[in-house]
Every structure is written in structure tokens, then in C-alpha cells.
Amino acid sequence: MKFNDTIMGAALLALALSILQTVQQYPVIPGQNIGPGAFPGLLAVLLAVCAVLLIFKGLKAKQHEAWVEVGGWVKSWFHLRNFVITVASLLFYITLSDRLGFLICATVVVGVMMWALKVRTALIVPIALTSSLVIHFIFYKGLRVPLPWGVLTPIQW
């Protein structure tokens, strides 16, 4: 699927403006000249500049160019099914990760995606479980990101 540069520029500009609005609400740290919103704000300003340039480019481009062109993958059942599975997996993780926990949700998501890509059945569970454990270890222990434990709360390590 191909979008005109004007549409993508407008979407990126909206994202940049929402980031700028959000970082304005970050607290000021006493005794520091640079607060927690400085770098995200700087990146949002740069994104806004690029978005405006993209909008101008899209408006100056071919006047008869379609705003949206549907790609060939939309006609392919395999690609369309995988797109739906990806979106459904993300929604599954977003809605159930707090209740079930990262390890269970990530294992299910990776397993379903591997099944959709026709990985050998005997490899799906071991690879999905191992990759989920490795990712959890990297984020939870290495980066100290508190991932949800869900139903596995009693066995935290």
C-alpha cells in the first residue's frame, strides 16, 4: 500500500505535535538545565521539520497522483492472513499481558506467528519459549524494564 507523501507528512506532523505536547508535561528536575523532555522534544522538532518538508514535497509532486494506492499483497491470501495475524497478536498482547504476563503472551505470539509462517511444528514451542525467556531476561535483568508477570507472579526471579 502506498500513501501520498502529503498524507504521511501530515501523520508524522501530528505525531511530532503530540510528542511535543506530552514532553511539556514532564516534570522539571531542580538543579539541572536539561530536563527529561529535552531530547524527546528535540527529536519531535526535527520530526516536525521533516514532516513539513514531506508535506510540501507531496503537494508539489504530481497533481494527478493517487492519494492511496493499494499494493499487490492485498490480493494475496497468505499476506493478508499474516497481516491480520500480526495485528491480532499485537492486540492480544496489549489486552492480556498484564493479566497473563509477558512470558506467556510472548510465547503465544511468537508461536502463532511461527505457525503462520509454516515453521516445523516440532520447533515452534521450543523456539517460542526460548526466545521469550531470552527477551525477558535481557529486558528484566539487563535493562531493568519491569515486564508484567501476570499469573507467574508467585515465581518471580
Domain boundaries, the chain: 2-69, 72-155
Summarize pLDDT for 103-116 with one digit per residue, the tens. Answer: 999 999 999 999 99
DSSP string, the chain: -EE-HHHHHHHHHHHHHHHHHHHTTSPPPTT-SS-TTHHHHHHHHHHHHHHHHHHHHHHHS-TT--SEE--GGGG-HHHHHHHHHHHHHHHHHHHHHHHH-HHHHHHHHHHHHHHHTT--HHHHHHHHHHHHHHHHHIIIIIS------GGGGGG--
Query: Would you say 116 and 84 are in contact if contact means Cβ atoms under 8 Å apart?
Result: no
Indicate if the pLDDT at residue 1 is higher than 80.
no
Q: In the chain, what percentage of residues exceed pLDDT 70?
A: 97
Summarize pLDDT for 23-73 with one digit per residue, the tens. Answer: 999 888 888 888 888 999 999 999 999 999 999 988 887 666 777 778 887
